Structure 1
């Protein structure tokens, strides 16, 4: 009951049904102004640190830096950020949307779009990049229950890098991962499906609001054309019991995991359960 009471304060039954049908949902005012201010100060500290436990995936001399100035597992650098990465309300919303018995952290990431010289994040799915075994449904298609929350620390719109989603795109299953620097057209793989003619939805947000999306939902972020960074904390959740597919990955490589081993323990803590 406590789980449902917390979730019902911020998300309606209609929003839950919207997520189930379309693979994403906007949730307004999930964090307070004070929480956003505190999280912003923490993440600014963590992004400026060198030699940390997080993994920095781009530097200013790399092409990917124009797409994203990114750090993964930022929670490992800063106890304050860890409080938000393990935030009980965010985790319980993810638990409800995933319709899982338990939800674990896969990782978090700070996602900066740097000012002026930025590129869009091309259309892609998240799940193909993650080293998780597929969750095959009865019709033979991946039906992953992985959920990401995307929390802007600045107001976002099309001028500084807000997101767009293709409603219902999670239903066509897993496609190939897209090269985010020299992207292929993901819609070429979707030809002949209902997604081929589905209009994308743009989602501007006020800071304190967020979106949740399924790991297979097509999404995109505009370039940042302003003179300030666009700052986001993203948190990726996976159902309890998710297993490793054995493929090399920045998160799992140092852990010496065996194929089909459960992703659990201190690096993948259980954040919410029924």
Structure 2
């Protein structure tokens, strides 16, 4: 599989704040990855942060584990895969790319809720505006089971307030009277093994899962080398003894590209 993106893909990302990349996984990798993530989501462990309370409101939005790489070697293989980090470096134009965390995301069937419109950067303990995510589909995704939507060019409005994903505010109240009101959201349907990249500032949304099976996806958050910790609380950094203003580095936040 190639690590290279076309100039058109890079230009599209830099203008619109997101880009779709098809067939980022081979058929064999997809089969292996599905096995690993099934194992990781079923295992109880101390290092991965998990939310799967069957009766909890958040469970109806999604079920998740953060930093699966710390407890499952197979997940580490993909979380640290140079192919994905190299693409992130190309899209941002950064001299180097570091890993922040991985994120297994299952949109559960049954009483599922949409993931509301939000930006990611307000939740991350950094001020670097080039941080971004890869979102890898491990199942075919469309409006029926939780595919993503993005608002083109919304990354240019800057960092807004974080949205409560269970009891959300309308993020568009913060962009009234701006060009964002005129932007038509783009629905991103994908085959399993494809992915999107999106900026931490890009407005995005995921549909509810109205099917009988979980919608499985895996996200990796990347940041340019030199990004500093801003002191904000976060499940990934709360046990790291970081000092505000300190660059992310070391074994928890390795440089991958």
- Whole-Å Cα distance in 1 between the matches of residues 96 and 51 of structure 2? 29
**Offset of 1:59 from its aligned partner?**
1.9
CA distance in 2, matches of 1:253, 1:244: 11
| Contact 2:45-2:71 within 8 A present in 1 as well | no
Matched residue, 1:227: 212
The separation in 2 between residues aligned to 1:220 and 1:88, in whole angstroms, is 27
| Gapped regions of structure 1 (runs ≥ 5) | 136-143
Matched, 1:240 2:225: yes
2:63 counterpart residue number: 69
- The corresponding residue for 1:141 is none
Please identify, of 219-228 and 192-201, the stretch whose mean Cα deviation from structure 2 is larger.
Answer: 192-201
Query: 2: CA distance between counterparts of 1:204 and 1:20?
Result: 21
Secondary structure of the 2:112 match is: coil
CA contact (8 A) 2:118 2:204 kept: yes
User: Which of 173, 180, 190 in structure 1 is aligned with 2:165?
Assistant: 180
Q: Which residue of 1 aligns with 2:94?
A: 100
Q: Residue in 2 aligned with 1:271?
A: 256
Which residue of the partner structure matches residue 180 of structure 2?
Answer: 195
Q: CA separation in 2, counterparts of 1:30 and 1:43? A: 17
SS across alignment from 1:118: coil
1:131 and 2:125 are equivalent in the alignment: yes
Deviation at 1:52, TM superposition (A): 3.4
Deviations 1:93-127 (A, max 9, x none): 00111110110000001000111211000000000
Q: CA separation in 2, counterparts of 1:98 and 1:65?
A: 33
TM-score by length of 1: 0.92
> Could you tell me which of 16, 36, 41 is aligned with 1:42?
36
Aligned to 1:170: 155
1:253 pairs with one of 217, 222, 238: 238
Q: Alpha-carbon deviation of 1:88?
A: 1.1
**What RMSD over aligned residues (CA atoms) do the two structures have, in Å?**
1.1
1:117 alignment partner in structure 2: 111
Runs (4+) off by over 6 Å: none
Which runs of 5 or more structure 2 residues have no equivalent in the other structure?
none
Deviation at 1:58, TM superposition (A): 4.1
State how far apart, in whole Å, the 2-side matches of 1:53 and 1:34 are: 28
> Equivalent of 1:151, from 133, 136, 141?
136
Q: Secondary structure at the match of 2:3?
A: helix
1:196 CA drift (Å) = 1.3
